[in-house]
Amino acid sequence: MSPVTEQWDEVLRTHLALGEERSPVLAAAAFSAEAGFFAVAGRGGADGWPYFRSMAHAPGAGGTGPERPDDVEALCTVCEEAVHPRGLWIAGLPWQRESRELVSDAVTGRDLELALLRQGDRAMWVVRTERGVCAFVLVDGDSEANLSEARSLTLEFDSFLVGQGY
């Protein structure tokens, strides 16, 4: 793991409470269209990659599923085009956009694009800064409390990104 990836892995864990047992976040990813994934992290040190990348389509996995663009490529497209109303495929599963809003960062005034995606009874917040950095935050369970708390953590994380110049 590169030093940059390790740094961003720790940033995700800290800002999204992934080290806490009762975190409302199951896994998260931070991505830059320019630099690729900064990090993918799961709660409690678990591997977060299976939530964001289809292992059946990973190189060398020998998957036999339908041909689809690589999930990382799909995430890059999301960053470039915003969250498309038709949704997207993440880890081989279709996610539908339920809502989308523009939120201004309280400190800098920069716009953050926030979308709620759903796949069955699972929910994920996707947020994008003006500079093309995306964060994907998978909510643990489908309770309104977890959904609301994960939204707050997602916005705080993106305020941190904006404050860092992203």
Domains and their CATH numbers in the chain: 3-163 (3.30.450.30)
Residue 28 predicted with pLDDT over 50 = yes
pTM of the full structure: 0.80
Rounded Cα–Cα distance for residues 45 and 47 (Å):
7
- Torsion angle, CA of 136/140/141/144, rounded to 10 degrees? -80
Mean predicted lDDT score pLDDT of the chain: 77
Residue 34 predicted with pLDDT over 50 = yes
Q: What is the pLDDT of residue 9?
A: 79
Q: Higher pLDDT residue, 141 or 86?
A: 141
pLDDT in tens, 139-162: 998 789 999 999 999 988 888 877
Average pLDDT over residues 54-78: 50
Q: CA angle 84-42-59, nearest 5°?
A: 70
Rg (CA), the chain: 15
Q: Higher pLDDT residue, 76 or 147?
A: 147
Q: Higher pLDDT residue, 77 or 157?
A: 157
Q: How confident is the model at residue 96 (pLDDT cuts 50, 70, 90)?
A: confident
Cα separations in angstroms, 145 against 25, 141, 158? 11, 10, 20
**50: closest CA among 74, 78, 19, 29?**
29
Q: How confident is the model at residue 55 (pLDDT cuts 50, 70, 90)?
A: low
Q: What is the pLDDT of residue 109?
A: 81
